[in-house]
Amino acid sequence: MKERLLLTGAHGMVGRNILEHPMAVEWELLTPSRRELDLSDGALTEAYVRSTKPDIVVHAAGRVGGIQANIANPVAFLVENIDMGRNLLLACRDAGVRRFLNLGSSCMYPRDRSDLLREDDLLSGALETTNEGYALAKIFSTRLCEYISREDESFHYKTLIPCNIYGRHDKFDPAVSHLIPAVIRKVHDAKLRGEGEVAVWGDGQARREFMYAEDLADAVMRAAADITIIPPLMNIGIGRDYTIDEYYRMAAVVIGWDGELRHDISKPAGMLKKQVDISKQRAWGWSPTHSLMEGIAKTYDFFLKGTDR
């Protein structure tokens, strides 16, 4: 008999990539919509978990967005994500669900770090102000996982901290999109309109690490199967970062646009560097398979098909 896996956020980018993974068929999947499971309601969340009795939970739900969305809605990003994490984790603990895989975010790490971000760097410095609310909420859920497991060792509540993610089922609306889908949309539109330049927030030299969502889905499914042996907290990354300008140039090559980048230094660029240390990931024995150019090309192809746009 297949074990039952509850996947929150099944209709978001990461969730959809998880559902499309070949290992998904090995589980009996619960993929409730927000109407079926409103994680902001603690009582309803507890009732759902008790009635469905999952063997393991993968928590991929959350309110997400790029710099613009985080700056415009800090209260929502803090409160909504804290509520979802708190209600689900306590409901699972109280219902006796022994395995829980929580998805964190590299924005949980302190800003202004010039070296690789290690798991023990959490809470060792000030957070990036542009997405502090979201980061605090993710730290809350991560710590709650650790505390539940610490109080009772029969609970295996673990957290993966992915680098930035992009890929199929991404959001390409400039108001809410992250870097790579935003770059794809801007460069694509510039090509269609015959424009010779696109605007870039900041000086273009901030560095970011991005993983194709299909690769993250592979890590998640394998971690779910290995949850009793993986570390309580583990970064997931590709082992390399690139400047913002480099992402624009790679997208320009894929799209076939040969214009110039115009830097708007009046706009925030976020953290100057955000690359995670993947020593634990390597020790676990996992690595991604997509190159950045391959991932951008697949994402652009998905964008051109108009799906989820």
Sign of the four-CA dihedral 300, 21, 62, 111: negative
CA pair distance 63, 171, nearest whole angstrom: 13
Show me where the domains of the chain are located. 4-169+210-240+275-290
Q: Is 157 left (phi over 0), alpha (psi -120 to 50) or beta?
A: beta
For the chain, percent of residues with pLDDT exceeding 90: 84
CA pair distance 125, 136, nearest whole angstrom: 12
Contacts with 199 (C-beta within 8 Å, 6 or more apart), sequence order? 186, 262, 263, 264
Query: pLDDT tens for residues 35-60?
Result: 999 999 999 999 999 999 999 999 99
Write out the two tokens for 11.
């209709």
Query: pTM of the prediction?
Result: 0.93
Query: pLDDT tens for residues 8-29?
Result: 999 999 999 999 999 999 999 9
CA atoms within 13 A on the CB side of 275: 15
| 265-290 mean pLDDT | 92
Strand boundaries in the chain, DSSP class E: 4-8, 28-30, 56-59, 99-103, 156-162, 164-166, 197-201, 207-208, 210-212, 233-236, 242-243, 260-264, 273-274
Phi, psi at residue 241, to the nearest 5°? -120, 170
DSSP state of 276: B
Q: Are 167 and 214 in contact (CB under 8 A)?
A: yes
Give pLDDT, residue 300. 98
CB neighbours of residue 96 within 10 Å: 11
Query: pLDDT tens for residues 67-93?
Result: 777 787 789 889 999 999 999 999 999
Query: pLDDT tens for residues 131-163?
Result: 899 999 999 999 999 999 999 999 999 999 999
4-169+210-240+275-290, CATH topology level: Rossmann fold (3.40.50)
Which residues have a catalytic role annotated?
Answer: 134
Strands 242-243 and 207-208: antiparallel
3-state secondary structure of 147: helix
Give pLDDT, residue 308. 55
Q: Are 16 and 168 in contact (CB under 8 A)?
A: yes
Query: pLDDT tens for residues 222-242?
Result: 999 999 999 999 999 999 999
3-state secondary structure of 182: helix
Give pLDDT, residue 158. 99
